[in-house]
Amino acid sequence: MKGDYQDLVDEISALLGAPATLENRDFRLIAFGAHDSEDDLAMDPVRTRSILTRQSTAAVRAWFEGFGIARATGPVRIPAAPDAGVFRGRICLPVRFRGIVQGYVWLLDQEPGTPGPDAAALDAAMEVAQRIGVLLAEEAKAGADLSREFLAVLTAGRGWQQEMAVSALRAALGPAGDGLHAAVCVAPWSGESPPSVPGAAAVCVVPRPGAGGEGLALAVLMRLRSTDALAPALTAVARLLPRAAARPAETAAASAGTGTGARAGSAAAAVAPAGHRMTAGVGDPVRGLGELPAAWEQAVAAARAAAAQPRFGPVAQWSQIGPYRLLAGLASAPVDDPVARALLTPAHRELARTAEVFLDCAGQAGRAAAALGIHRQTLYYRLARVEQLTGLDLDEGEDRLLLHMALKAARLT
């Protein structure tokens, strides 16, 4: 499909005599034409970032959408705005299918005083844009149609039911089913799945794992070209999270693409239940759908670890969550060990933090005191109180292990 888009973008570039870029309706770059101009103004900050990062910010998108491109049915001319990082004007060709916008083709307009493309050329380019709209709509429909098969694989359990579900998904995916994929879990989620996720083969909403049957999670099956191509998938997933979109305010000049923006990120803010931090987990890439259930379990564990430990970031990879790989797999609801019960009450929150930092520092008092910003004698006093509350001896390796596991597991609840 990528080659089809590239050919159509090149066709528009030839018709209008200007390099073109294609973005989907979420302002994600899909394809771009060759650029051989020596005009420095042509590669302004907005266009450069769009091509290099394949994404943009909400500020850039809002600026371009202010010219009515989402409602337009024909070419829209947008003037240059150096203050916004747009050194050259743009021509936007809305890509629609059955009246619904599917994306945008962007071209650099001619400089003032220079004749631009005539009406006939623009009409021909719009016909090509309509063909692109058909492809984008078919791709989105294919992903939506796979939601049932994808959901069945994730919820069928083990045995012949799972084998049948995997076979059905493989048949629905066709030759792509034998390719490389990564499973993604986004939680908590409410409402329906998004209409599209860039790079996704299938998307569905499933009962939220580890939540006692309450709540939902979004499951995404990401297509990968190689094991080294996980970074673009992580970027696409991050755009589903409110925190990923809520970065420090950036001006359009410092921001992204020709009109690329973060609709998915802003939309996610509306589907994150109040009081919950939405996080995502990504399992190890797998080749062959038979490994998909195990990859989903990894993604669930990574999402829980991201919620438990902010240092993992809003999107955590299974391979990078350390001991949480084991802790998350022990039980969907971590065991409430009696030795740590008193320590984990709100009244002793500071003592619990002290013990966890001390154990994270491998029992090295100097490092722990420095990390906590307290005197070493204060640390010793707190550790003595921890021993009194738990009945554990922190000079004993197994007692340290038990307490460390209990403290880390408590973060997963």
**For residue 227, is it within any domain?**
yes
Q: What's the half-sphere exposure (Cβ side, CA atoms, 13 Å) at 156?
A: 22
pLDDT digits (tens, 9 = 90+) for 275-284: 457 899 999 9
Is pLDDT larger for residue 204 or for residue 270?
204
Q: Which of the residue ranges 4-18, 54-68, 360-374 would you say has the lowest mean pLDDT?
A: 54-68
Higher pLDDT, residue 120 or 268: 120
User: Is residue 319 in a domain?
Assistant: yes
pTM: 0.53
Q: How confident is the model at residue 239, as a pLDDT? A: 80
Whether 399 maps to a domain, the answer reads yes
Residue 117: inside a domain = yes
Which amino acid belongs to residue 47?
R
Predicted confidence at residue 49, as pLDDT, reads 53
Instruction: Give Cα 105 distance to the centre of its chain.
Output: 24
Domain housing 291: 146-241+278-330
Q: What percent of the chain has pLDDT over 70?
A: 77
State the pLDDT at residue 84.
60
Is residue 128 situated within a structural domain? yes
Q: What is the pLDDT of residue 81?
A: 77
Q: Which two tokens stand for residue 314?
A: 């809003």
> How far is residue 155 from each of residues 104, 141, 250, 305, 325, measured CA to CA in Å?
37, 22, 41, 21, 21
pLDDT of residue 246: 32
Confidence class for position 26, pLDDT limits 50, 70, 90:
confident
Do 347 and 313 sit in the same domain of this protein?
no
Q: How confident is the model at residue 138 (pLDDT cuts 50, 70, 90)?
A: confident
Q: Which residues contact 241 (CB under 8 A, 6 or more apart)?
A: 186, 265, 268, 278, 279, 280, 314, 315
Tokens 């740590």: give the residue.
Answer: 340
153: left (phi over 0), alpha (psi -120 to 50) or beta: alpha
| pLDDT score for 89 | 83
The confidence score (pLDDT) of residue 58 equals 72
Q: Are 180 and 56 in the same domain?
A: no
Confidence of residue 45 (pLDDT cuts 50, 70, 90): low
Cβ(78)–Cβ(60) below 8 Å: no
The torsion angles phi and psi of 397, rounded to 5 degrees, stand at: -60, -45
80 shares a domain with 42: yes
Number of domains the chain is built from: 3
CATH of the domain at 365: 1.10.10.2840
The DSSP H or E segment spanning 30 is strand 29-32
Question: Beta strands of 114-251 (E only): which ranges?
Answer: 180-189, 200-207, 216-224
**Mean residue pLDDT across the chain:** 78
Mean pLDDT value across residues 184-209: 84
- 89: three-class secondary structure by DSSP: coil
**Do the beta carbons of residue 404 and residue 352 sit within 8 Å?**
no
Tell me: pLDDT of 251 over 50.
no
Residue 314 burial (C-beta neighbours within 10 Å; 0-12, 13-18, 19+):
buried
Q: Mean of the pLDDT values across residues 298-304?
A: 91
Final residue before a domain boundary, out of 87, 119, 141: 141
pLDDT single digits (tens) 103-116 = 999 988 876 667 77
Lowest mean pLDDT among 25-34, 179-188, 364-373, 391-400: 25-34
> Which is more confident, 388 or 253?
388
- pLDDT of 244 above 70: no
Tell me what pLDDT residue 59 has.
74
